[in-house]
Amino acid sequence: MSDPFDFTGRVALVTGAGQGIGRATALRLAAHGARVAVNDRSAETAERTAREIQTAGGEAVALPADVSTSPAVDDMFARFAKSFDRLDFLVNNAGISLYRSLLDCTEEDWDAHIDIMAKGTFLTMRHAARMMIAQKFGRIVNLGSYVAQLNCTTKYFGPYCAAKFGIIGLTQVAAQEWAPHVNVNAVGPGDVATDMMELEWEQEGARRGVPAAVVKDEYRRRLILAKFEEADDLAQAIMYLCSPLAAHVTGAHFIVSGGLPYKAEPGQND
- C-beta separation of 201 from 228 below 8 A: no
Q: Report the amino acid identity of residue 269.
A: N
Question: How far is it, in rounded angstroms, from Cα 92 to Cα 162?
Answer: 16
Catalytic residue among 99, 119, 146, 160: 160
Would you call 143 exposed, middle or buried from its count of C-beta atoms within 10 A (0-12, 13-18, 19+)? buried
Known catalytic residue at 227? no
Known catalytic residue at 240? no
Edge-to-edge strand order for the sheet containing 60-62? 60-62, 35-38, 11-14, 89-92, 138-143, 182-189, 253-256
Catalytic residue among 164, 216, 240, 263: 164
DSSP 56-101: TT--EEE----TTSHHHHHHHHHHHHHH-S---EEEE-------B-
CA 61 to chain centre: 19
Helices 120-135 and 158-177, interaxial angle, to 10°? Answer: 20
> In this structure, what are the phi and psi dihedrals at residue 142, rounded to the nearest 5 degrees?
-100, 150
CA distances for 40 relative to 44, 201, 223, 246, angstroms: 9, 24, 30, 27
Annotated catalytic residues are 160, 164
